Structure 1
Amino acid sequence: MGYLRELPAIGRDIGSVLLLIGAATLLPIIVGCLYQEWYALPWMASSTAAMLGLGGILHLLPKNTKPPRASLSISATAVIWALVGFLGCFPFIFAGMPFIDAAFESMSAWTGTGFTLTTNLEDWPKTILLWRSLMQWIGGLGIVAFMLTVASRSGLVTQNLYRSEGGSESFMPSVIATAFQMWKIYLILTLIAIVAILLTGLSLWDAVNVAFCAIATGGMSIYAVGITHFDNLALEMVLIPIMLAGAIPFRLYYIIYVSRSFREILHDRVLHMIIGVFLLVSAVLIVELSVSGMPLVDTLREGLFMAGTVVSSTGFQNTTFAGWGMAPILFLSIFLLIEGGQGSTSGGIKLNRIQVMFEALGWWFRKTLRSPRAVVPMRHDGKPIYGKYAEGLIAKSLLLILLYLLLLVGTLIVFLHDPYFSANLANTVYDLCSCIGNNGSSTGVVGPLMPDYAKIILFFVMWVARLEIIPALILGWGILRGFDTQKGSKKRG
């Protein structure tokens, strides 16, 4: 139990993050005052008080001069997501949602999944609606970014925390500088999105909320029928590049910021993959929907928009899937698991890992066809890599892909024992892939009529998937067996 001595250091930094998020909750309270929604302020203040209170208590823990081990640092990421998932749900409870539904709604927003269990969204005050959009915006970039802004010391092994959520590569030598640049870029993208959406005819209130959810690839809406409330073709076409912008690795934006040129990123393979996958999915959907007899205008509108929302991991949808056959639904399900690039606001397996698998496959073929004595390097991003680095890259990517597939298969096996889910296999598969990919577009299977046990399971599925599984596994293992692995290995020796 020696690891308990390190928990105060982790607690202090978790407390710092909760204090920052608690301060962010003041924005919906200010909006509530502007709209004179005095009755809603206590609802919102409950989450503010909970986050600031718990954050303040944790921040008072004694300092620890020694940095905690990496397993505790990575576990702290999982703890933060779990805490904000629960603490952020209080306003939804006061808005009339049962506790399980409110917790699901909160986790769905924080993880950028975008599923909703609300039945009376139009009755909610603007205070709570903005909080719901803000949760997606904050969670879109990753609460880990908050860790980076406050971890001026090595107390949370910030590089490990960043990698657990945002990928294996940071784009600046300083972790703190990375965090600030990420938020600066994110704010600029958000402002651009707001202006672009305003030009389609939306009000400032609607534009801000839609922009928050689009650039964060969250996908929730402040209207019960979602984005179709506006019935605005121009809006839907503008949202496609905004959603894809959120799915692009943020290091590319930093390259543009530093070089003042688009030349270098135009050769980036992940960007090429995102555009290529979007065009592929769009083409297949347009052909499939045309064959089904859908009018050409609706085919183009639904095909392009749903391709953008699936590839970007956003979850906005301009269709109820009425008239869609099983083939396009299952086809989309595949891409719901993959989605954008590492270091972006997207969820899912990430295109980077699929890229590594294709590169590994090509490497294997080249090695097989060449002489056994020939040294054939694996090429990643056009550069040769050798030995253990290549093997480690392949192993990590393959492990994450297998874990995501196991999560899908395991959840599907449990759910198919229930007639509610087994009645429509294709729709159930689609919604589960959407959940695990933190997408949120739905055929209607995931909704308020879903059994409570399923809501609880999907609460944890969204949490685990957004963390990219490993931090949740390390946290679970640490709780059961302890984090002090070095001590255990000495005993075995």
Structure 2
Amino acid sequence: MGYLRELPAIGRDIGSVLLLIGTATLVPIIVGCFFQEWYALPWMASSTFAMLGLGGLLHLLPKNTKPPRASLSISATAVIWALVGFLGCFPFIFAGMPLIDAAFESMSAWTGTGFSIATNIESWPKTILLWRSLMQWIGGLGIVAFTLTVASRSGLVTQNLYRSEGGSESFMPSVIATAFQMWKIYLILTLIAIIAILLTGLSLWDAVNVAFCAIATGGMTIYAAGITHFNNFALEMVLIPIMLAGALPFRLYYVVYVSRSFREILHDRILHLMVGVYLFVAAVLIVELFTAGMPLMETLRESLFMAGSVVSSTGFQNTTFAGWGLAPIIFLSIFLMIEGAQGSTSGGIKLNRLQVMLEALGWWFRKTLQSPKAVVPMRHDGKPIYGKEGETLIAKSLLMILLFVLLMLGTLIVFLHDPYFSENLAHTIYDLCSCIGNNGSSTGVVGPMMPDYAKVVMFFIMWIARLEIIPVLILIWGILRGFDTQKKSDRRD
């Protein structure tokens, strides 16, 4: 139990995040004052006081002279997401949602999943609606990166908090500097998105909320009908590149910023893969829906938009899936699990891992066809990788893919014991894949009438999947067995 001595340092970092997020809750409160929604301010202030109060108490814990071990730091990331997912739900409770529904709505927003089970959203005050959009925007880039922008030190805690949530997408020597650049890029992309959406005829209020959710690949809107509320073809076409932009690694935007040239980004393999996957998905949907009898223009509109929504992990949808057969729904479910790139705002397995597996497949073919004595290096991003480095890269990618698949199959087996889910297998598979991929588009299975136990299960699935499973496993292992593994291995060495 020696790790207990290190918990105060972790508590201080968690407290710092809660203080920062609590400060962010002041934005919708200011907006509420502007619109004179005085009755809504106590609703919003409930989350403000909860986050600032708990964050302040944790920040009073004594400092630790030594940085905590990596396992504790990574576990802290999981704790942070769980806390903000719950504490952010208080305004929804006061807006009339039951506790379980409010917690589900909050976690869905923070993780960028985008499922909504609210039934009276049009009656909500602008204060709460903006908070819901802002949750997606902050959660899209990552609560951990939000902490790093004002972190006062760069030690093991900071490094591991960042990497456990954002992968290894560090494009500057300092993690703190990386976080600052990420937020600058994020703000610029958001402003561009707002301007582009305004040009489609939306009001400033609608444009800001839609832009927050689009660039964050969140998918919620401030209307029960979602994007179809606007019935705006131009808006849907503009949202496609915005959604895909949010799903690209922020490293690419930083390269453009530094080099003042689009040359390198246009040659990036992940960009090529994302565009290729988008075009492939769109083409298959067009063929499937058109041959099923859907009018051509409606086919093109739904296919192009839903392909962009699924590939980017956004979750906006301009269809109720009426007229869709079994084949396109199951086909789209596969890509709900993959989605955008590492170092972006998207969820899911990530295209980077699909890229590694495709490269590994090509490597295995080359090794088979050539002489057994020939040294055939694996090529990743166009560069040769020798020895165990390539095998390790493949193993990590394969492990993550298997964990996501096991999470989906395990949950599916549980849900299919319930008539609510077993009644329509294809729609259940689609919505479950959407949940695990933090996408949020739905065939209607996920909704307010869903059993309460399923809402609780999906609350945790969204949390686990957004963190890419490993931090939650480390947290559970640490709680059950202790966080002393690294220390003991160091002693043996």
TM-score band, normalised by the shorter chain? over 0.9
Post-superposition offset of 1:286: 0.7
TM-score (norm 2): 0.98
Post-superposition offset of 1:157: 2.9
Letter in 2 for 1:11: G
Correspondence list, 1:30-429, <5 A? 30-429=30-429
Deviations 1:336-381 (A, max 9, x none): 0000000000000000000001111111111122112111100000
Post-superposition offset of 1:490: 8.3
Specify the SS of the correspondent of 2:149: helix
How many equivalent residue pairs? 493
Letter in 1 for 2:394: I
Specify the SS of the correspondent of 2:384: strand
Post-superposition offset of 1:161: 2.4
| Contact in 2 for aligned 1:9/1:155 (Cα 8 Å) | no
Work out the percentage of aligned pairs sharing the same amino acid. Answer: 87
Specify the SS of the correspondent of 1:107: helix
| Contact in 1 for aligned 2:154/2:175 (Cα 8 Å) | no
| Contact in 2 for aligned 1:86/1:106 (Cα 8 Å) | yes
Specify the SS of the correspondent of 2:263: coil
Q: Which runs of 5+ in 1 are unaligned?
A: none
Q: Which residue of 2 aligns with 1:474?
A: 474
| Contact in 2 for aligned 1:194/1:208 (Cα 8 Å) | yes
Specify the SS of the correspondent of 2:344: coil
The whole-number CA distance in structure 2 between the counterparts of 1:377 and 1:56 is: 52
| Contact in 2 for aligned 1:17/1:150 (Cα 8 Å) | no
| Contact in 2 for aligned 1:431/1:442 (Cα 8 Å) | yes
The whole-number CA distance in structure 2 between the counterparts of 1:241 and 1:129 is: 25
- Greater CA deviation, 143-152 or 128-137? 143-152
The whole-number CA distance in structure 2 between the counterparts of 1:191 and 1:109 is: 20
| Contact in 2 for aligned 1:13/1:155 (Cα 8 Å) | no
Deviations 1:357-407 (A, max 9, x none): 111111111112211211110000000011121111111101000000000
| Contact in 1 for aligned 2:47/2:87 (Cα 8 Å) | yes
The whole-number CA distance in structure 2 between the counterparts of 1:377 and 1:43 is: 59
Letter in 1 for 2:203: S
| Contact in 2 for aligned 1:13/1:156 (Cα 8 Å) | no
Q: Which residue of 1 aligns with 2:26?
A: 26
Change (3 A) 1:332 1:192: same
The whole-number CA distance in structure 1 between the counterparts of 2:29 and 2:198 is: 24
Q: Which runs of 5+ in 2 are unaligned?
A: none
Change (3 A) 1:320 1:397: same
Letter in 2 for 1:107: M
Change (3 A) 1:176 1:294: same
| Contact in 1 for aligned 2:154/2:176 (Cα 8 Å) | no
TM-score (norm 1): 0.98
| Contact in 1 for aligned 2:71/2:474 (Cα 8 Å) | yes
Specify the SS of the correspondent of 1:264: helix
